Amino acid sequence: MADQLVLRFPSAPVDADTESILQLVAGDPLHEDDRAAVVRAILAAAAADGGRVDPNAVRKLIPDNVYPRVIGATYLTLAKKGLLVVDGWTVSEDRAGRNTGKPCRLYRLNTSAARAA
């Protein structure tokens, strides 16, 4: 049952204020290049791993000048659109964000949703 819940709800619910901030960051024209860099990194990681998206692999492909909050906002947007689907868990290697050792979601690129978008 827990697995079904994780698959049905790819990200934990967020409060209205957090949702508003994430949508602003995700849609902010100032960060358009950052979003594009994150999407390119996600697609490259998926292509290299049979459609699986490991945030540890993606992080290595994102340029250092990308605004960090755009990364999470981009993942959230892609998951809400069904383009990324939760596919398990891994352990974060994110030292810069101080998340090393914490669980983080693995995703799978949903190519059928990508074709429909």
Each residue's pLDDT tens digit, 25-51? 566 777 888 988 998 999 999 999 999
Query: Which residues 6+ apart lie within 8 Å of 82 measured at CB?
Result: 110, 113
- The structural domains of the chain, ordered by start, are 15-116 (1.10.10)
Helix (H/G/I), strand (E/B), else coil: 103: strand
DSSP for residue 83: S
In terms of Cβ atoms closer than 10 Å to its own Cβ (0-12, 13-18, 19+), residue 111 is exposed
Each residue's pLDDT tens digit, 58-111? 999 999 999 988 998 899 888 988 889 999 999 988 787 677 888 889 999 987
